[in-house]
Amino acid sequence: MKNEIIKKDNGYVSTIFLNRPEKKNALNADALFNLGHIMRAIDKENIIRVVIIRGSGENIFSSGVDLSGGQKERTRTIEGLGYCLDGLINYSMPIISMINGPAIGAGLDISVISDFRIASTDARFGAPLVKLGRTYYFTAIERLTSLVGLGAAKEMLLTGRLINSQKAKEIGLINQLVTPAELESVAYGLANELAEEAAPLAVKVTKQTIKRLFQENRINPVLGEELHRLVEEINLSKDAEEGIKAKLEKRSPIFSGK
């Protein structure tokens, strides 16, 4: 059976490959749950000091979640996505996203959650769910808005357009923009610097402090529950069903507003 997530350790650095290149590294339920398990295991072991996430194959990070399958499988995929993202959010040491090619939907969110985003000039970024009749959970919207600002987040979220790497650098979506030939050396150079030159306990406490300071300004539980219900309503609408169906059938969707 193929490993859809591959983990390779080298000293204090662990590389995680999103390994579905034939699907543009679209993540199905199994891949998402597996990635969530891996992140929790790494954190519990307390040996690895830096995680790099990258895509397998040529010129692709991740095209998001795999939309194929019926409603039951899509529900499991959404559950897996939540489990995966929680594992990434709660990981106590630095995460670097090494982005070559598209980082779309969940691929974008994984990169936003990461502490560092190193991208090549071939990278592209997008949050296209409105074109599928769906919307992102408020937590993903909050993360993107906090990173790039209100105007840039609205442009990405409301139009669903892809942006190129230069635009991503301008709005602060990525930390560093390099050529495809430089991408690996720059990303692993940063990983080795973090692993070897920064005291791991100090790094862990600093990351935890930043997270807690950020959480103090987060949405309160009552509002969060209200927004959660709203997202669920939209994502189970007829337009959402039509958006996925059209995507799988490779045609333009016909939205009814229902």
pLDDT at residue number 29: 95
The tokens of 127 are what?
């949050």
**43 within a domain of the structure (yes/no):** yes
Is the per-residue pLDDT at 215 higher than 90?
Answer: no
| pLDDT range class, residue 101, cuts 50, 70, 90 | very high
**Residues of the domain holding 168:** 1-180+199-258
Contact (CB, 8 A) for 2 and 38: no
**pLDDT tens-digit series, residues 12-48:** 999 999 999 999 999 999 999 999 999 999 999 999 9
Count of domains in the chain? 1
Name the pTM for this structure.
0.90
**CA–CA separation, 191 vs 210, rounded Å?**
19
Q: Is the pLDDT of residue 256 over 60?
A: yes
The pLDDT-based confidence of 218 (bands split at 50, 70, 90) is: low
On whether residue 28 sits in a domain, the answer given is yes
CA angle 123, 80, 201 (to 5 degrees): 70
Please report the pLDDT score of residue 88 as a whole number: 98
Nearest to 160 by CA among 134, 137, 133, 128: 128
Q: Are 50 and 195 in contact (CB under 8 A)?
A: yes
Distance CA 221, CA 189 (A): 40
Q: Which residues lie below 8 Å from residue 258, measured CB to CB, with a gap of 6+?
A: 237, 238, 239
In a domain, 106, yes or no: yes
**pLDDT exceeds cutoff 80 at 133:** yes
Both tokens of 102, joined, read: 């598209």
Q: How many CA atoms lie within 13 A of 96 on its CB side?
A: 26
Residue 173 within a domain: yes
CATH number at residue 236: 3.90.226.10
Q: How far is CA 191 from CA 96, 111, 115, in A?
A: 8, 15, 11
CA distances from 79 to 28, 84, 257 (A): 11, 9, 26
Does 191 fall in a domain?
no
Residue 189 lies in a domain: no
Is 124's pLDDT higher than 80? yes
**Average of per-residue pLDDT values in the chain:** 92
Q: Check if the beta carbon of residue 42 is closer than 8 Å to that of residue 6.
A: no
Beta strands 116-120 and 95-99 are: parallel
Provide the percentage of residues in the chain whose pLDDT is more than 70.
98
